[in-house]
Amino acid sequence: MTPEVKPLVAGNWKMNGTRASLDQIKAMAEGVKGDLSDKVESLICPPVSLLYVATALADDSPLKIGAQDCHQKVSGAHTGDVSAEMIADCFGTHVIVGHSERRTDHKEDDALIRAKAESAYAANLIAIICIGETESERKSGRTLDVLKAQLAGSVPDTATAANTVIAYEPVWAIGTGLTPTVEDIEEAHAFMRAELASRFSGEGSKMRILYGGSVKPGNARELMAIANVDGALIGGASLKAQDFLSIYGAYEELTA
């Protein structure tokens, strides 16, 4: 954890969830009510088909609702895409950009991700910018070089602690059940903190850096206690309210 930085526990549902899943979001919205919400923020990013209804369900809750991607343009002939303005129009508050699955499956590069983040800012959304190394990059000792390049290329110059969250997700740990060692995560997050502080000064020192990659109720407390880990970006474990709330609840002791 970073002193004086409010942690964020965020769930990325990816291409999962139908109307039948809304009961889970309703349970999450109820479950995050309480004193802990003053110390820890919570967010769920369902598929865009559920976005508007999800925001309605969470209307009287501290739970925020966001989206998983946005187009870099405000509008236009971009069939199948969703703009940041459309997300905001559905009362979304955040948008994930640069997830490794977008980088890999859709060949998105740092320049495009930076443009998407800028579009998010223009719509008054908070951009969660994802970075992380592949297994081959880690094995070849290039992890910090990859993080440095992705931070430089993906994060806009106008980023602040209020409009930007960084999510470190080692690609090889996403959905595999594998996690880096505590020492590996601590090294990566300390490096990213130093890079952000060097580039953005005080804003970089306060910018939240989430860890993502097989975060589960069983390892959440250990992971969230690591220096410069300011929350989690959760995949599969965020689909069930019980698991998500268990991870969120790990902060009960950590913030006591």
Cβ(36)–Cβ(251) under 8 Å?
yes
Coil, strand or helix at 118: helix
Coil, strand or helix at 94: strand
Q: Quick check: is 169 catalytic? A: yes
Q: Which of the following is catalytic: 99, 108, 189, 195? A: 99
Torsion of CA 96, 161, 35, 169, to 10 degrees: 40
Residues constituting the chain? 256
Burial 178-208 (b: 16+ CB within 10 A, else e): ebbeeeebeebbebbbebbeeebeebbbbbb
Q: Which of the following is catalytic: 94, 169, 189, 195? A: 169
Local structure of residue 192 (DSSP, 8 states): H
Local structure of residue 141 (DSSP, 8 states): T
Coil, strand or helix at 8: strand
Catalytically annotated residues: 99, 169
